[in-house]
Amino acid sequence: MTHEITVHRADATLAAGLPYDVAPEVAADAVDEWLQIVEHVQRTVPHDAARELRGPGRSIHLHATDTGPEVNAEWLVELTEDGVAWSRGHRKATVALRRPLTSVLLAFYRRLPLDAPESEVLGERELLEFWLERATFG
């Protein structure tokens, strides 16, 4: 419920045009949870959109630019033949999203556009857009 409240509070705060920041540990845990949900749904209830995420040689790197090593706020998401696989850490990828951690979280939950301030997309932006359109549990 913490992550649900965090994201819905972001919705209200952003709608009011106010700045929003999430505690680093909560934001990082919310990204972990989202990846776990997508991974689980893709393997157990693969609908068309989730099935499209399969295939070798494509990866996404999420990189928080405002946290220290103690948070380990970097992720590698690999799209494999067997489904989505992910881990924490810094590695090269097909596309990278670099921005402050709260902004990484909100972009990954599709609450902020990829072109938000302090944001950088390196590599194949189309892959990140493809992921955001299809990574769902609904």
Residue 51: its H or E element: helix 48-51
Can you give the pLDDT at residue 97?
A: 97
Distances (CA, A) of 118 to 13, 82, 113: 19, 34, 11
**Biggest distance spanned by C-alpha atoms of the chain:** 42
CB under 8 Å to 122, separation ≥6 — which residues?
Answer: 95, 96, 98
What's the rounded mean pLDDT across residues 121-138? 86
pLDDT band at 136 (very low <50, low <70, confident <90, very high): low
Q: Evaluate the CA torsion angle 83, 84, 90, 93 in order and state its sign.
A: positive
Q: Give the SS3 label for residue 87.
A: strand
Beta strands in 1-99 (DSSP E): 58-64, 74-80, 83-88, 95-99
Q: What is the pTM of this model?
A: 0.88
pLDDT band at 89 (very low <50, low <70, confident <90, very high): very high
**DSSP codes joined into one string, 9-20:** HHHHHHHTT---
Beta strands in the chain (DSSP E): 58-64, 74-80, 83-88, 95-99, 120-123
Residue 52 has pLDDT above 60, yes or no: yes
